[in-house]
A = this chain, B = another copy of it.
Amino acid sequence: MTQPTPRDSAATRRRLLDAARDEFTARGIAGARVDRIAVAAHANKAQIYHYFGDKDGLFDAVLESFTEEAVGAVPIDADDLPGYAARLFDYHFDHPDLLRLVTWARLEGRTTPSTHAQRTTSYQRRADGIKNAQQEGRVTTALSASHILDLIESLAVGWTTAARGLLVDTSKLKRERKAYRAGIAEAVQRIVQPG
């Protein structure tokens, strides 16, 4: 048996992350089975322990890679916060798995220190963008930059937790998607306008 090349290792790690994302999204952390992830990734359990330590380490890695994808896919534009909110809404509408993952983590009482730090850095960078726009008079100073960021996030993802996204027929929400997104953008416009 030959040693795996670096290219093999990266590919195996990627396949394990993909399989783990599906498994954790569907079943949460407690419900996920490492055996099932190994089989789906055409790998074995020993490789999971080698690359990620344990099931918790694997979950952290999945959440981190997913969060990086999301932050990269929806860059903030402090000069167009209504548009940013609309794009954030679209992203989570089209990629519900990230919110599912994070929601499992919350329900299962899981905190993720590494992702927390990573997320805090990206959070700070976005808040700084808003602060800059406030200093130049393009965004209201009636609310702090971090509050504005939190409010925008709440508007963009809150529908998944609020009545509308939960107990109401989701096929109806799909039909109303454009109007709903426009409502979010209008709300953000009203929140951030100076004066």
Binding site for B on A (CB under 8 A): 28, 30-31, 99-100, 102-107, 111-112, 115-116, 119-120, 123, 142-144, 147, 150-151, 153-169, 179-180, 183-184, 186-187, 190-191, 193
Contact = CB atoms under 8 A, between A and B. Distances in A.
> Quick one: which of A31, A120, A166 has the most chain B CB within 10 A?
A166
A167 B111 contact: yes
Given A28-B107, A106-B165, 12 more contacts: A30-B31, A107-B107, A116-B168, A119-B163, A142-B190, A147-B179, A151-B183, A151-B184, A153-B163, A153-B164, A154-B155, A154-B161
Contacts of A157: 154, 158, 161-162
A161 B103 contact: yes
Nearest to A106: B166
A155 B155 contact: yes
Judged by DSSP, the binding face of A is helix
B143 A154 contact: no
A106 B103 CA distance: 10
Contacts of A162: 150, 153-154, 157-158
Contact of A107 (B104, B116, B191): B104
Contacts of A186: 142-143
Contacts of A164: 150, 153
> Quick one: which of A107, A112, A187 has the most chain B CB within 10 A?
A187
A115 B179 CA distance: 25
Contact of A151 (B116, B161, B187): B187
Contacts of A180: 147, 150
Contacts of A161: 99, 102-103, 154, 157-158, 160-161
Given A144-B183, A147-B179, A163 B104 contact: no
Given A107-B100, A150-B162, A154-B155, A115 B183 contact: no
